[in-house]
Every structure is written in C-alpha cells, then in structure tokens.
Amino acid sequence: MKETSKQTTGKYPENIMDAYADCATYLPSYASDTSGVCSALYELGGLTVVHDASGCNSTYSTFDEPRWFKQESAIVISGLTEMDAIMGDDQKLIDNCIEAAHIYSPNFLALCSSPMPFVIGTDLPAIGAELEERLGIPVLVIPTNGIHSYIAGCGLAWEALLARFCQRLPKSPKPSINILGASPLDIENNTLSHLCAWIRSIGFQLGACLALHTSLEDISSLPKAHANLVLSSSALPAARFLTHLCDQPSVLGLPIGSFAPILKERLWEAVTTKQSFGLTHTGSEAPLVIAGEAIFCASLATALPLPSVLYSPLECPPTLLLGKDSGGVEDESKIQSMMATASVLMGDPFYQVLAPEKRLLAIPHRAFSGRVFAKDMWNILDPQAFQTRILNPLREEIAC
C-alpha cells in the first residue's frame, strides 16, 4: 500500500483514499491468467494442466467458465502441495500428467503455471520437453504466473497454440474474416452469433473463430483467411503472430451501433490492401465513463453521441487508451476521480459500488463479475438492445 498524503495524526493519512491508491478495496479482481488459459483452450481437445494447489479449479469452474456443466473439457489441476514445492518434486507432476494423458487421450497437452511454481522457479519448459518426448503429443508450455489477468493468459495460450498448429496456407478463394479473441470471459453466445451473421452480411465468408464453437482443425485453418477481426486485447499476440506468419492484417473492434459501418470499411480495406487497423481513443473530461476491456470500451465509445473517458485495468496496448483515459493500471482512486465529474457510468454492475449515486448502464462482464450477473447479460451488437439499454438512457441524461 502506498501512502501518498501527509499524515496528520501519525496513524491515518489526511485523505483515506490517498492511502489506498493502487489498492482494490471495493472491486474484485478480473479472472486470472490461468483461467484465461483454460478458457482459451477449452474446446480444442487438449488436456490443460494448471500446476497449482487444488482449489483454483473451483474458482475457474464456478465463476469463470459457463461451459463447465454443459460441455466436456479436460482441465486438471496438479494439486501442488507445500512439500512438493519444498522438495521440487517435478517427477510427481510428470507422472500425473502422463497418467491424465492416458485417461483423456488429448490432441495436445498445455501446461501452465501459478504463483507457487513461479516463485520457486519450476522449470516448466524442461518438464514440457520431457513430457512431449514421453507422450508423443505436442506440449504447450504457457508461462503464466497467476498474478496477471485473463487477457495475458488467453494471449499466451493462443500464441503458443498458433505457433504449434498454424502454418502458411493458400488463401480461401473468397474474401474471409477470422474472429480472434472470442472467449466466454469477454463475449456471450448471442453476441458471437450476431457477430458471425454481421460478417456474412457485409460480404465476407466466415473464417475460423479463436476460440468459441471451434476445433483444433479450425484453428489450423486460421492462416487461410484474408484478415482478422480482433475483439479483445487477449487476441493481440495471436493477431501479431498471424501477421508475422502470413502477412495477415488485423482490424481491432466490435461492430457496436454506428461503429459497425466504420469497421466494415476497415475490414474491406484490410482485405484489399493488407493494411492493419488499430484502435485509439483519447479520453477527455466527459459526462461518460466506460469501464472494462480496452477494445470493447473503445468500440463502444466510438458508437456513442457523447464524449467519454475510458478506464481499463487490464493489459492493453499503450497506444489504445490516450488522453484522460486510463489503461493497464488497476487503480480504484483513478476511476473514482474520473467518475466524480461524470454523470453516467457504463460497465459491469460491480463498478456501481464506487459511485452509488451515479446512473450505471449495466453491461455485465463475465471476466469481472463471474456468474453473478449471468442472467442479465445481453447482446450489445443487437441494434434494438443497444438502442434501449444505452442510447435511450443517454438521451434522457442529455435532456436532463
């Protein structure tokens, strides 16, 4: 905890919020990087092993993973104990991975790490190499440490996956678009269906989707498409990989409201010229505060009739959120000061606690509030829902 103000009593700082700068005192943390790995690889027929104490699987399956009770996936926790850590019992992990692989017969094995193995320096690349030799299947070693968000975890997992399973391929005969960054942590099913229909409606074939309603075979076909639509910062490493591998351009954004025609134009230009299109938002002192994942926030901001200021505590590119925006830093005092001069907040309902008197237009985000608001999730790409839930309330505010 940083104490940033002059202390008056010798015990408490003059302004209590200064004392809690950089601390999360009200808000929960976003889903962790290990949850991101599990979510990213869920549908691909692999065996994902989180090297961690038992218990983290409950957080993942209960809060972060809506598919857990509907769709099978081989995700296991190594059950690391204090003595395993002290003794550096790598052999136990290796033997257990081999046993699990014999049970599940996976396409590949993904091994990711958590705080304890990270701190004691467990050599996962060496363990992965040994497992690959003994199992005869690809082993992806994903260097998570449990202290970053799902953005980092999904990013590392998808990058490792593509590096292993994608190679240059001839392009599809018709212009086609991949969807990158689709995980239930960021996007719900109806929104994804709407997005697929939108891509077709603007004249493209749908390529592969990383990684919802998909398969390992689909993932291998990612290089066939002409461009990528990147929905979340979690897919930026994968987008960079595909550009490097096969000169495949990427366009960042979600086709929300009036931003959809702009995205359509950018996608066609990307396909025609192979030029990538990033996304930038410059925040100002504004009546709107939007909180959440950076690409989502910037897409939404572009579709609104009022200026806004964006807050994303998650990992995001330094060029995405500029001006008064705040990106990549978790700081409740920062968003509270943004909200002090705003009249409307948009984001997950959990943000309401920071300003109970302000109007919040709820956009539940599973990576943040888990299943708490699952029943209230809605499709922001649906023009009617967007009009009712966002634009109309904004008009009321403007009228006031």
Partner 1 sequence: MLKLAMYGKGGIGKSTMTSHLAAAFAMNGLRVVQIGCDPKADSTMTLLGGTPVTSVMDYMRTYDQEPEDLASISKRGFGDILCIETGGPTPGLGCAGRGIITTFQLLERLQLFATIQPDVVLFDVLGDVVCGGFAAPIREGYADHVIIVTSGEKMALYAAGNITRAVANFAERSYATVLGLLLNRRNVPDEREKVAAFAQEHGLPILEEIPRSDVILACEERGQTVLEGAPTSDLALRFRTLAKRLWEQHS
Give yes or no for residue 331 binding partner 1 (CB under 8 A).
Answer: no
By CB under 8 A, how many residues form the interface with partner 1? Answer: 10
The least distance separating partner 1 from the CB of residue 3, rounded to whole angstroms, comes to 14
How far is CA 23 from each of CA 164, 232, 334, rounded to the nearest angstrom? 38, 25, 11
Shortest Cβ distance from residue 21 to partner 1 (Å)?
A: 14
* DSSP secondary structure letter of residue 13: B
Give the x/- contact pattern for partner 1 in 69-88, rule: CB under 8 A. Answer: -------------------x
CB nearer partner 1, residue 70 or residue 244:
244
Rounded CA-CA distance 248/275 in Å is 9
User: 327 in helix, strand or coil?
Assistant: strand
> Is the distance from CB of 332 to CB of 350 less than 8 angstroms?
no
Cβ at position 283, least distance to partner 1 in Å: 24
Q: Are 326 and 266 in contact (CB under 8 A)?
A: no
Contact flags string 149-188 toward partner 1, x per CB under 8 A: ----------------------------------------
Q: How many angstroms separate the CA atoms of 317 and 363, rounded?
A: 23
* Minimum separation from the CB atom of position 122 to partner 1 (A): 6
Whichever of 99 and 123 has its CB closer to partner 1, that residue is: 123
The distance from CA 145 to its chain's CA centroid, rounded to whole angstroms, is: 16
Tell me how far apart the alpha carbons of residues 260 and 321 are, in angstroms, rounded to a whole number.
Answer: 20
Binding mask 92-131 for partner 1 (x = CB under 8 A): ---------------------------xxxxx-xx--xx-
Nearer to partner 1, 24 or 129 (CB): 129
The token pair at 323 is 């001006």
Residue 45 or 143: which CB sits closer to partner 1? 143
Pairing of strands 308-312, 321-323: unpaired
User: Which spans of this chain sit near partner 1 (rule: CB under 8 A)?
Assistant: 88, 119-123, 125-126, 129-130
